[in-house]
Structure formats: C-alpha cells, structure tokens
Amino acid sequence: MGNYKLVLCYDGSRYAGWQRQGNAENTIQHRVEQTLSRVLSEPVQISGCGRTDAGVHARMQVCSFRSANLSDPEETLSQLRKYLPEDIGAVSLTEAPDRFHARLSCREKTYRYRVWHTDAPNVFERKYVYPFPEPLDLSAVRKAADALEGTHDFAGFSTGHTKKSTVRTVRRILLNDDGQELTLSFTGDGFLYHMVRIMTGTLLEAGLGRKSAADIADVFLKKDRSLAGFTAPAQGLILWEIQY
Amino acid sequence: MGNYKLVLCYDGSRYAGWQRQGNAENTIQHRVEQTLSRVLSEPVQISGCGRTDAGVHARMQVCSFRSANLSDPEETLSQLRKYLPEDIGAVSLTEAPDRFHARLSCREKTYRYRVWHTDAPNVFERKYVYPFPEPLDLSAVRKAADALEGTHDFAGFSTGHTKKSTVRTVRRILLNDDGQELTLSFTGDGFLYHMVRIMTGTLLEAGLGRKSAADIADVFLKKDRSLAGFTAPAQGLILWEIQY
C-alpha cells in the first residue's frame, strides 16, 4: 500500500462541511472518497487536515490516503479533475513518505476570514466574504488580536464539549484592510470547533468598541462562551494554508 | 423629470441577459426596473449601455433613466442595495445632465474575456472564466489581434441579421497572460451581437495554429461567419468599463 498526499481546494457553499457523517452524502470528504474509490477501483479512505464546517471554503486542504492500485499519480490527478464536481478542485497528488499523515503530521494551519465592511456591492465574491457594513476601529481590532495571540485555554472561544485539552497556541493574527475588505489571518497549531469564527466575531465587536483586551482575558479565565463575541458566519472563512 | 445615471455590476450567470424581452422576467433590465419602480413609486424605464447576452457579466454597466419622484440619490441608492438580488449590485447613482443617455452618449466600451488555459482547478472564479486547457501560442494570438484592430466591416464576426451598418472600430485589444489565465480586453466604439465572443474564439484558434491574420482578412472581405472562429461561451465575458 502506497501512501499519498492530495491537495484540494473547494467552495464549501453547498456542502455540509468536510467530515463524513454517518450516511450524509453531502460532505466534501464523502464526495472525494467516492470519486477516488471509483477512479482507483478500490475502497479509499482519506484523512483531511482541517475539518472545515458546513459552508467553509478551502484554498488548500491537505489529505492523505493509502492505495494499492494507484500507480501513476499524474494520471489519477487528471481523472480526479475530470470526475470531481466543479466546486471541488484537485490541486496536486504526490507520493508521500510512509509516516506522513495529513492531520497528525501538520505543524501549523492558517485560516483566513474575509469581512466586507462597506455598503458597496461585491457581487463576484459574495459567497466568500461576510458583509458587515459597519465602520471598524482597526487599532482596537489590533489590540484585541494581540490579546488572543499566544498559548491559552480557548475553551470559551469554542462550542461543544470535549474531554481533550482546549489549550492551543495562536502563533499570529495578521490584519489587512483596504478600506472595503478586512482580512483576518489566523495561524496556529490547531483550532477548536468554531474557534476561528468566534475569535472573528470577538474581533469585530472589538472594532465596534463592544469588546476589549480585558474582556478577552476574562474569557480565558472563566472559559465562558457567553462572554466572547458572536460566531461569524461560515461563508467568510477559508482554510488558507497548511505547514508540515 | 430629472435625469439620472446608475452604475451597476452583476453576475449574469442566472439571467437571460440584460435586455427586457416581451414578458420574460428573467432579465437584468427587468429586475432593476422593477426594483427602481417600487422604490420610487412610479414606472421607471432604464437604458443600459451594453446589451449583455445571457450569462455575460458586468463589472460596470451604465444606465440612464428619468424620474419625477427621485429627490435623494443617496437614499435611493441605499434602497436599491437593500432590494436588488445579491447578484446585481448598485455601484453609484448620480444626477446627470439632461442630454445624457447611457447608450447614445457612450464613447467607447471595454469588454474582457477570461480564458483559463490550464488543467489546474479554479473553483472560486469558475463562473467567470472559460476553461480552455490548451497550450496557446501567444505571439500568434497577438498577431491575430493586430489584424482585428482598426475599422472594419465586422459582419462575419457577428450572428443575426441587421440592416444597419456593421462597420465598427476596435481601438485596441490588450492581452495579459500569467501562465494560467489569459485575459483579452477589447476596447471599441461598439460591438455587434456576439462579436466579442467570436473574436475571442478566433483568437484562441489562432493560438492553436488554426487561424491566422490572413484568415481574419478573409472574414472581413467575405463577411462570412463560417470562416471565423467559434463563439466562446458567455461565462468568460464581462462588460468591464464604459467611457463617455
């Protein structure tokens, strides 16, 4: 069994997220596994690095899988491009070292969140930005972002329950604003369920003067979701890059 | 009755083109007239500068219309943004000189055609590019573009019959290629029905070595549509800019 690395991109708008769920056919993982299994004439299971939620996009999702039948990655890549739906793209397919695992080997991930903070229309990218036509105080956003960076218990910035550790390291949050679009880039060793979207909602509330660095410290201390900001909608979020 | 200039942008994917046609409700002109008429509580008819075909997009479509009730363009613009569908955007709305007419006053128009000439996926812009994964000889495309520029009888580069003049001036054709996307920009005083798409198909065939500058001269001479290249699909075309 060879080990392979597959890089995908996708428009998540019409999917129930990345991860296969019981009988749900409408996940990206399911569609890719189905296509790969047909192309290779063997059952294939893939592991994706980022478990994107329903409606979240990926510029670069890395997967790994094992196959006995795959002999020509170029040819399989071209078959994938032929049979995958038009909103899922196969970027590359290469042989990987035997120990490579897309999720477990991942060193850091970057997610981007795109906020469209003007009334002006953005018809061509409307599915990939979150329209939030409020004037934002960017220095307040920056201060709040500084408070989020570092190693903290992010339990209050997540939803759902887990018995595993909720400590994560957010290595850096980059802000870029061109007067119409504010892009927030979050790089870290891993992110909890909804964590990027709740950090984004919190930063936007900071930009409106409704949250401060002190409030963020309080969320870390009390681990209380209700003290953090709103959950920004899925459509503005994109899995941007993965480092190994 | 005041005279007004409205700038729109739209994703043409789900429309039967710009122009109102009998009872067809699915045109951009109809949707905008309907919305404007409601917002202004009077019947409004608009004139658009470019009559884009079904599936063609616009970054900048200029319209003019007369209204008795419009008193506050800012307010009407904001109402339009509220009530237009998400794939039609109102960019600006201003008072215009009484003699201004979006189509008749137009000095030159620029259309862009986006060709995606690689196998690599482009999921996020897939509705706005034409996938044509063939290697292109760009110097041959340039030579053919040179042959198209200028004042000619473009009857052979159009479909449909007209008794009016088919002489047009293509002021310039700009090519831009980044190795994956070739963008063709056509600027001229006006374009016949399907003309930009047939010029694009002809230029792509030139890039494949199947058409030459001599063939183009022949189309001008014989005015025979069958001698020109194929009609490139609507989705890659966008009305880019209008000069007055």
Asked whether residue B30 carries a pLDDT value surpassing 90, the answer given is yes
Of residues A242, A216, A212, A230, the one with CA closest to residue A115: A230
Tell me the C-alpha distance between A163 and B222, whole Å.
78
Asked whether residue B115 carries a pLDDT value surpassing 80, the answer given is yes
Asked whether residue A161 carries a pLDDT value surpassing 90, the answer given is no
Mean pLDDT on B115-132: 96
> What is the torsional sign of CA B234, B237, B238, B240?
negative
Is the CB of residue B19 less than 8 Å from the CB of residue B32?
no
A119 to B78: CB separation less than 8 angstroms, yes or no? yes
Tell me the C-alpha distance between A63 and A92, whole Å.
10
Q: Does B122 touch chain A (CB under 8 A)?
A: yes
A89 to B128: CB separation less than 8 angstroms, yes or no? no
**Selected residue with higher pLDDT from B119 and B163:** B119
Least confident range from A155-169, A173-187, B55-69: namely A155-169
Question: Residue B24: which pLDDT band, with cuts at 50, 70 and 90?
Answer: confident
Mean pLDDT on B110-117: 98
Q: Does A178 touch chain B (CB under 8 A)?
A: no
* A143 burial via Cβ count (<10 Å: 0-12, 13-18, 19+): middle
Is the CB of residue B100 less than 8 Å from the CB of residue B5?
yes
Q: Which residues of A are catalytic?
A: 53
Please state, in angstroms and as integers, the Cα–Cα distance from residue B143 to each residue in A127, A151, B155, following that order.
39, 59, 21
Mean pLDDT on A112-129: 96
CB atoms inside a 10 Å sphere around CB A122:
18
What is the set of domains in chain B, with CATH numbers?
2-95 (3.30.70.580), 108-243 (3.30.70.660)
B9 to A123: CB separation less than 8 angstroms, yes or no? yes
Question: Which secondary-structure segment (H or E) carries B58?
Answer: strand B57-67
Counting Cα atoms < 13 Å in the Cβ hemisphere of A5 gives 19
Asked whether residue A23 carries a pLDDT value surpassing 80, the answer given is no
Nearest-Cα distance to chain A for B147, in Å, is 33
Best probe of the A interface among B123, B130, B238, by most A CBs < 10 A, is: B123
Nearest CB neighbour to A81, from listed B91, B119, B126: B119
Please tell me which residue of chain B has the smallest CA distance to A127. Answer: B124
Packing angle between helix B195-207 and helix B213-222, nearest 10 degrees?
A: 150
Query: What is the tens place of the pLDDT at every residue in B182-229?
Result: 999 999 999 999 999 999 999 999 999 999 999 999 999 999 999 999
Tell me the C-alpha distance between A78 and A83, whole Å.
9
Average model confidence (pLDDT) for chain A? 96
Q: Quote the pLDDT of residue A136.
A: 95
Mean pLDDT on A209-235: 97
Asked whether residue A25 carries a pLDDT value surpassing 90, the answer given is no
Tell me the C-alpha distance between B238 and B200, whole Å.
12
Question: Residue B163: which pLDDT band, with cuts at 50, 70 and 90?
Answer: confident
Mean pLDDT on B84-97: 97
